[in-house]
Chains A and B, each alone.
Chain A
């Protein structure tokens, strides 16, 4: 068996786990909960194996003679898969620490959506040898730590949305609007990508051509104006729908045994882990590597600049919490903003802006 089969097993496991966790929430049967955890763990172990096997395949192909450099984390596909691994790791830790399975129904869908995005966008899954700039021992520390931090921020975001959903009452006030609109836009963007896939069928060969010729071409960027108008109207309609019927979701979440205090605590704790890891691995190690490869530790390229913006948002989060004592709705909103910035740092820069990190989107 090769790595792709183990990746396949883990993808199926996470999607099954998602269904089982939801069943657990509906039936409140502890056996179902145990099954859900087992499936997730099996998927996690399988993905870990796959990661090491892909590393071995990569090592054989790259012939660089260094295990430290044979890290299968060099293109968008590999980084997304690793992101899923980090999220599942984070979730399993939370489940174990808080002895609460209710989060599973919210975290596993994120993993499922990312895996679906990989297949929908039809991105290149082949192993490619490393270009010279990536042949550095800093690759391991810089990339893995950045993704651990991104995953921590993603979990913080998910808990922040749940917090807002549980705490907000008035649908005309900003906390309610924030979570419904954010969730609506997130899901709508994924649906638009799904439509792209259904319309064009073929997967693009590289991320660059994916963005240029396919991304949102069936909807927001279509050549015919009516289609574009219809797409934006549908987006608005969809977001309005989520806003209108958000109370239903709120009721479902509210009926689980997750307290607001626990959510608020998790929103903070995940950032308290993610922020130092991001600072050290993402910014500092990135700067040292850039210094050794290009002779500039900081050159204001879009990836660096967006990392700094993200860092500012989370630094603001920490100061608001400790100096001003922000809790609840306000702090959850900052976490949501931080994750939007994180996504842009990770995906937006690679897909939409150019710069030294452009290899991250190639492949």
Chain B
């Protein structure tokens, strides 16, 4: 018996520990303060970056400061055991605090409004008195319709002091706070489902290649269950600038070696804000890069002076002939980003394909004639002496960086967000208002007493009551 008592006592102790608002404040503070450190120390970054940063505060002892922070988990703190523990304590605190208060509130919500004793009328926050001409049987319908007009459904009862109407609105809005707390727990649950049932990986796909796996940050392979290929990657720029307008990848899905149609199309084009979803896995456009190799090919559209056309694909050093002529072109040089410096010299100003250009040497019957740079983004550079050479693309030299994610909990998170929006609306923009009206006949006239109360926005209820009284007195 004694041990059960003891056990009960310690359970009570744990319960009251988690139910205390002090704990909430302590956890709020701990999460906030450690998070501040987490925003200053770059998370999950190379040690050198943070040592450089720490040197500003600690000078020569920066490396030891770094080792100290690293040992405590501050360099990847949002995933450290102690930070996750804070979050769980926060959740437990939220659950138990809500459970503590919920019964009282539920009692309040479950019990509808009751007629008020006559003495109660004088103690309400809002109270009015008015005398209306005519007997009760004439005034009662007037009052009833005015209450309905104000948006309330009144219950009429015969009380000792006279006829009483009572009505209330927004009783359930008192639950708004709890709905909001519950939504935080839903979002938590969704996040946990995501951590255990999903993955967050990445995949770099060179144009013209495919993969059936994605890679976690740790380098671990995650099989997709199908394979994905990148047909083409492209960056579009705003006119004459290096400000990108969009990054686009054209992707294909293969199952058992056969292409799969998504929305009736084999090729799906994705951009930064429009990902591709297939079998619960989502592919997001997240980055790109330039990685030229021996298989990269120059794609040119050739038109001779008399309008004969040809499309060619060449490797570096390859040659082509302008149709209907003896003029041969050869790929001599390439720059991913060609620019002109102050002295008029050409140079490559970036390692990405910001302004790709190809140098073509033209010759006729083996004798070199001239060379010309063709710029992909500038069609006016495509005109050469013997025709028009359109530089369409250097294909197979860029890779698309895809974020690959599977998150079965994301719908729970979205549901939590929706519930939170509803809860906040109820908690902040709705109020529980109650109205009592007592009608008493006095010498052929009727005295009307009005009392009202609201847990929020009293001023607006006061306005409503005044309008209600005006409606009744105008109709008398």
Contact = CB atoms under 8 A, between A and B. Distances in A.
Interface of A: 128-129, 131-133, 135-136, 272-273, 275-276, 279-280, 284, 287-288, 291-298, 300, 302, 305-306, 308-309, 312-313, 315-316, 319, 323-324, 349, 353-354
Contacts of B28: 312, 315-316
A295 B405 contact: yes
Most interface-central of A295, A308, A323 (chain B CB within 10 A): A295
A292 B284 CA distance: 8
Nearest to A291: B410
A295 B275 contact: yes
Nearest to A293: B273
25 contacts: A129-B243, A131-B243, A132-B245, A135-B273, A272-B428, A273-B428, A279-B420, A280-B420, A280-B421, A284-B420, A284-B421, A287-B413, A288-B417, A294-B284, A294-B403, A295-B200, A295-B284, A295-B404, A295-B405, A296-B405, A315-B28, A316-B25, A319-B24, A353-B39, A354-B42
A312 B32 contact: yes
A295 B401 CA distance: 13
A319 B98 CA distance: 13
A302 B243 CA distance: 25
A300 B272 contact: no
B152 interface: no
Interface in B380-420: 403-405, 410, 413-414, 417, 420
B38 A295 contact: no
A324 B244 CA distance: 53
Contacts of B31: 312
Given A284-B417, A295-B200, A295-B275, A132 B247 contact: yes
A129 B271 CA distance: 17
A292 B424 contact: no
A288 B414 contact: yes
Nearest to B202: A295
Contact of A300 (B38, B245, B424): B38
Interface string B146-184: 000000000000000000000000000000000000000
B243 A353 contact: no
B43 interface: yes
A273 to B, nearest CB: 8
B78 interface: yes
A133 B273 contact: yes
B272 A324 contact: no
B18 to A, nearest CB: 16
Given A280-B424, A305-B35, A132 B21 contact: no
B36 interface: yes
A300 B34 CA distance: 12
Nearest to B286: A294
Interface string B221-258: 00000000000000000100101111100000000000
Given A288-B414, A298-B191, A309-B32, A132 B284 contact: no
Contacts of A273: 428
Nearest to A313: B32
A133 B238 CA distance: 15
Contact of A324 (B21, B32, B241, B271): B21
A88 B410 CA distance: 39
Interface residues of B, number: 45
A295 B420 contact: no
Tell me whether chain A's interface is mostly helix, strand or loop, or mixed: helix
A172 B405 CA distance: 57
- Shortest beta-carbon contacts, A-B, top 8: A132-B272, A302-B39, A295-B284, A276-B424, A300-B78, A295-B405, A295-B403, A136-B273
Nearest to B24: A319
B348 interface: no
Nearest to B247: A132
Contacts of B405: 295-296
Contacts of B200: 295-296
B429 interface: yes
A295 B282 contact: yes
Contacts of B346: none
B21 A319 contact: yes
Most interface-central of B38, B40, B272 (chain A CB within 10 A): B272
A249 to B, nearest CB: 31
Contacts of A129: 238, 241, 243, 245
Given A295-B286, A353-B39, 12 more contacts: A129-B241, A135-B246, A135-B273, A276-B425, A280-B420, A284-B417, A287-B413, A287-B417, A294-B284, A306-B39, A353-B40, A354-B42
A141 to B, nearest CB: 12
B44 to A, nearest CB: 10
Nearest to A139: B273
A276 B271 CA distance: 32
Given A292-B275, A300-B78, A132 B417 contact: no
A191 to B, nearest CB: 25
A297 B410 contact: yes
Contacts of B78: 300, 305
Contacts of A275: 424, 428
Nearest to B427: A276
Given A287-B417, A312-B32, A323 B21 contact: yes
Contacts of A131: 243-244
Nearest to A97: B459
B36 A309 contact: yes
B135 to A, nearest CB: 42
Interface in B323-365: none
Contacts of A272: 428
Nearest to B44: A300
B428 A276 contact: yes
B409 to A, nearest CB: 10
Contacts of B241: 129
Given A131-B243, A276-B428, A284-B421, A292 B273 contact: yes
Contact of B39 (A128, A284, A291, A349): A349
A275 B38 CA distance: 24
A279 B428 CA distance: 12
Interface string B26-68: 0010011001101110110000000000000000000000000
A357 to B, nearest CB: 12
Contacts of A288: 414, 417
B148 to A, nearest CB: 29
Nearest to B39: A302
Nearest to B416: A284
A134 to B, nearest CB: 9
Contacts of B40: 353
